[in-house]
């Protein structure tokens, strides 16, 4: 029973930190794509608020996963 709990809730392999790095890269890519799309559509709407709001969520995704990646790497070392 103790081994099962240790396997389920114990320390993970250092390579599992790569998940946060990959999701962070995806967030950065989506943020850049949203920025480019917002700049292209700015001429139609003339609303900077729409651009800012469309970039906000991918930025939070990027920042949160970058922070989690650094915490994961820091906890292993």
Domain assignment present for 11: no
Instruction: Give kind and range of the element (H or E) at residue 13.
Output: none
Distance (Å, whole) CA 59 – CA 57 = 5
Whether 20 shows a pLDDT value over 70: the answer reads yes
Structural domain including 33 reads 19-76
Domain assignment present for 2: no
pLDDT for 1 equals 66
> Is 39 in contact with 51 (CB distance < 8 Å)?
yes
Q: How many residues does the chain have?
A: 77
Q: What is the CB-side half-sphere exposure of residue 65 using CA atoms within 13 A?
A: 19
In angstroms, how far apart are the furthest CA atoms of the chain?
63
Domain assignment present for 3: no
Domain assignment present for 67: yes
Instruction: Give kind and range of the element (H or E) at residue 59.
Output: helix 48-76
Total domains present in the chain: 1
Give the tens place of pLDDT for each residue, 29-62.
999 999 898 888 777 777 788 888 888 999 999 9
Give the pLDDT band (50/70/90) at residue 19. Answer: very high
Q: Look up the pTM and report it.
A: 0.77
């Amino acid at each position: 029973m103790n081994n099962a709990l240790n396997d389920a809730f114990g320390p993970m392999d250092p390579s599992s930190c790569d998940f946060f790095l990959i999701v962070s890269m995806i967030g950065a890519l989506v943020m850049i794509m949203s920025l480019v799309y917002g700049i292209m559509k700015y001429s139609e709407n003339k609303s900077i608020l729409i651009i800012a709001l469309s970039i906000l969520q991918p930025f939070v995704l990027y920042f949160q996963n970058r922070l989690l990646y650094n915490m994961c790497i820091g906890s292993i070392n």
